[in-house]
């Protein structure tokens, strides 16, 4: 039996090593497949127009995949043509206003559903969550009719106000607020703090990870919005970057290098925001997993 035990030990270790190697290999392949479109976009944004035709490869390890000499001026050309700067600024304003409005409505609502007692709270929350099963496409025409009745067509309000409340984000923040012990809130009430004071001075500072996650998701959703802006805008006055890219693609025609450069420019704010908020987002996801 001792010999069997000694013989089985190395065998078990080798099996574990093989499994770990296979797992890491699978993750590496998945990571490469996920990042490949972004590498292709960046590589072509740095090529000349001729290289996008003659130097074509779908394999990042091939020399043909990358430009001979990076053409950084492509980004300046893409920025100056197609009024991309105008659409970019519109997206910054739209995303920022939407995010601020979302914080103003979602945080108090989540706090109320999590820490306050009032008649019909569970029923109202259930009805609120039930709205998540309704596809956005179904609400497209009713929402448009409301915007039209308010005479908000082709205005900033049409692109921001409908998204300043979200059942999903209320649910998300409520789950985080539930993790905060009620004893802390009761101590603050004994000291004379109001519900608004508790929300602003205690609950909000303790929920920076969840608020950062919500901010990233909301900003990204507003930044990438395409269908709704196409419906409620008739001129380029308030059209965001996603709509601007569709216009730019038609104007740039076969100039793939400029189209890819414009796409990279549109991606930069979201990428920078994720890098800045990455730790908070990871912390929020981790805490959610622990809570179950």
pLDDT above 70 (res 3) = no
Residues 8 and 84 in one domain: no
Domain that includes residue 145, residue range? 76-291
Residues 47 and 168 in one domain: no
User: Which pTM value belongs to this model?
Assistant: 0.83
Q: Determine which of 109-113, 127-131, 275-279 has the lowest per-residue pLDDT on average.
A: 275-279
Query: Long-range pairs for 114-120 at CB < 8 Å and ≥24 separation?
Result: 114/173, 114/174, 114/177, 114/178, 115/177, 115/180, 115/182, 115/185, 115/195, 115/198, 115/203, 116/195
Tens digits of residue pLDDT in 21-68:
899 999 988 988 889 989 999 999 999 988 888 888 888 888 888 998
DSSP states of 12-27 as a string?
HHHHHHHHHHHHHHHH
pLDDT above 60 (res 269) = yes
Is-contact 112 118, C-beta < 8 A?
yes
How many whole angstroms separate alpha carbon 30 and alpha carbon 40? 16
Query: Long-range pairs for 150-153 at CB < 8 Å and ≥24 separation?
Result: 152/232, 153/232, 153/233, 153/234
Is-contact 261 194, C-beta < 8 A?
no
Residue 78 confidence class, pLDDT cut points 50, 70, 90: confident
Torsion sign (Cα): 141, 143, 146, 152: negative
The pLDDT, as a whole number, for residue 82 is 65
Which among 47, 71, 95 is the end of a domain? Answer: 71
Residues 29 and 94 in one domain: no
Is-contact 222 95, C-beta < 8 A?
yes
pLDDT above 50 (res 247) = yes
Task: Please indicate whether residue 285 or residue 70 has the higher confidence score (pLDDT).
Answer: 70
How many whole angstroms separate alpha carbon 222 and alpha carbon 215? 11
DSSP 8-state symbol, 138: G
Residues 280 and 203 in one domain: yes
Which among 40, 71, 102 is the end of a domain? Answer: 71
Can you read off the two tokens belonging to residue 236? 């380029």
Query: Can you give the length of the chain in residues?
Result: 292
Which among 48, 71, 94 is the end of a domain? Answer: 71
- How big is the CA angle at 170 (ends 168 and 174), to the nearest 5 degrees? 120
Tens digits of residue pLDDT in 131-177:
999 888 888 999 999 999 999 999 999 999 999 999 999 998 998 89
Residues 43 and 181 in one domain: no
Can you read off the two tokens belonging to residue 85? 């700067």
How many whole angstroms separate alpha carbon 7 and alpha carbon 37? 47
Residue 246 confidence class, pLDDT cut points 50, 70, 90: confident
pLDDT above 50 (res 99) = yes
How many whole angstroms separate alpha carbon 245 and alpha carbon 240? 9
Residues 204 and 240 in one domain: yes
Q: Give which of 114, 110, 128, 283 is closest to 213, Cα–Cα.
A: 283
The pLDDT, as a whole number, for residue 2 is 47
Can you read off the two tokens belonging to residue 221? 């959703």
Tens digits of residue pLDDT in 180-224:
888 888 888 888 888 899 998 889 888 888 898 899 999 999 999
Can you read off the two tokens belonging to residue 4? 């069997």
Q: What is the CATH number of the domain that holds 262?
A: 1.10.3720.10
Total domains in the chain come to: 2
225-246 average pLDDT score: 90
Q: For 254, how many CA atoms within 13 A lie in the half-sphere containing its CB?
A: 5
Q: For 71, how many CA atoms within 13 A lie in the half-sphere containing its CB?
A: 22
Residues 64 and 88 in one domain: no
CA of residue 203 relative to chain centroid, distance:
24
How many whole angstroms separate alpha carbon 45 and alpha carbon 52? 9
- How big is the CA angle at 271 (ends 289 and 206), to the nearest 5 degrees? 40
């Amino acid at each position: 039996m001792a010999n069997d035990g000694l013989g089985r030990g190395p065998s078990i270790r080798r099996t574990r090593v093989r499994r770990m190697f296979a797992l890491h290999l699978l993750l590496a392949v998945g990571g490469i497949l996920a990042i490949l479109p972004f590498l292709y976009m960046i590589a072509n944004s740095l090529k000349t127009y001729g290289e996008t035709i003659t130097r074509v490869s779908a394999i990042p390890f091939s020399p043909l995949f990358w430009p001979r000499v990076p053409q950084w001026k492509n980004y300046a050309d893409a920025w100056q043509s197609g009024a991309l700067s105008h659409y970019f600024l519109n997206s910054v304003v739209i995303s920022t206003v939407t995010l601020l409005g979302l914080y103003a409505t979602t945080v108090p609502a989540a706090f109320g559903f999590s820490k306050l007692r009032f008649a019909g709270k569970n029923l109202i929350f259930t009805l609120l969550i039930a709205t998540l099963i309704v596809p956005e496409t179904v609400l497209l025409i009713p929402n448009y009719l409301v915007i039209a009745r308010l005479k908000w067509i082709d205005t900033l309000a049409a692109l921001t106000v409908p998204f300043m409340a979200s059942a999903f984000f209320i649910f998300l923040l409520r789950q985080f607020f539930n993790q905060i012990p009620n004893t802390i809130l009761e101590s603050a009430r004994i000291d004379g703090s109001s519900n608004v004071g508790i929300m602003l001075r205690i609950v909000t500072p303790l929920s920076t990870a969840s608020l950062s996650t919500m901010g990233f998701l909301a900003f990204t959703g507003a930044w990438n919005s395409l269908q709704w802006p196409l419906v409620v805008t008739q001129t380029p006055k308030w059209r965001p970057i996603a709509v601007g890219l569709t216009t730019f693609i038609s104007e740039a025609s076969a100039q793939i290098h400029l189209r890819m450069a414009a796409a990279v420019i549109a991606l930069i704010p979201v990428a920078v925001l994720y890098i800045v908020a990455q730790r908070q987002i990871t912390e929020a996801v981790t805490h959610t997993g622990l809570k179950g």
